[in-house]
């Protein structure tokens, strides 16, 4: 008798294949062998876009980066971008209360794009803007300020670049 998994010869009195350990039936219906081109188990379902190219179905037409971010990005990446977004929303609100409306608008728009889309250029712009803003406000006030924006900018850059790395690995690039 042959093992349906690996094809090794199995004695009828043995209950398992000595090579792979698969349970082998002695009498009765035989275990159906899978075709050579298909692995054991249920057929996989492509996540979106219908493509089955590349690792984990990530071909060039597998769907948008936003779809990937919503459905398949790691929890750590999503939480990093969410933390950056929330900090930026708080900074925008503080700037609005103080009366710096243009700064509040810039921070709010960049925060929304970073939080909802994980956009790398916006994350880098936010980091550069936060460093510039910290230097200017620190020189104007004579005390260090604006450090919360820098923390948000660093978090945004980390999250956006991690998202891009995950997305490229998903697509098999």
The pLDDT of residue 52 is: 42
The total domain count for the chain is 1
Residues 64 and 171: their CA atoms lie apart, in Å, by 11
The pLDDT of residue 59 is: 44
Range of the domain at 79: 65-171
In a domain, 2, yes or no: no
In a domain, 70, yes or no: yes
In a domain, 151, yes or no: yes
In a domain, 77, yes or no: yes
pTM assigned to the model: 0.61
pLDDT digits (tens, 9 = 90+) for 153-169: 999 999 999 988 888 88
In a domain, 40, yes or no: no
pLDDT digits (tens, 9 = 90+) for 14-57: 777 776 666 677 655 445 554 555 455 555 554 544 444 444 44
In a domain, 58, yes or no: no
Q: Which residue has the tokens 């936010």?
A: 126
Integer angstrom CA distances of residue 81 from 11, 56, 132, 154: 58, 24, 21, 10
pLDDT digits (tens, 9 = 90+) for 94-114: 989 988 889 899 999 999 999
pLDDT digits (tens, 9 = 90+) for 132-153: 988 998 898 888 888 888 999 9
In a domain, 69, yes or no: yes
């Amino acid at each position: 008798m042959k093992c349906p998994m690996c094809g090794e010869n199995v004695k009828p009195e043995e209950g398992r294949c000595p090579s792979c350990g698969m349970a082998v039936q002695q009498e009765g219906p035989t275990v159906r062998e899978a075709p050579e081109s298909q692995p054991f188990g249920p057929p996989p379902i492509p996540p979106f876009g219908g493509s089955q190219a590349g690792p984990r179905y990530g071909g060039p037409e597998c769907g948008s980066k936003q779809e990937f971010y919503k459905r398949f990005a790691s929890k750590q990446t999503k939480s990093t971008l969410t933390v950056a977004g929330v900090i930026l929303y708080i900074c925008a609100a503080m700037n609005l209360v103080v009366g710096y409306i243009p700064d509040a608008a810039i921070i709010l728009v960049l925060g929304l794009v970073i939080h909802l889309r994980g956009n790398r250029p916006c994350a880098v712009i936010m980091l550069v803007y936060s460093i510039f803003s910290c230097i200017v406000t620190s020189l104007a006030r004579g005390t260090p300020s604006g450090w919360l924006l820098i923390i948000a900018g660093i978090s945004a850059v980390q999250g956006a670049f991690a998202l891009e790395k995950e997305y490229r690995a998903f697509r098999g690039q």
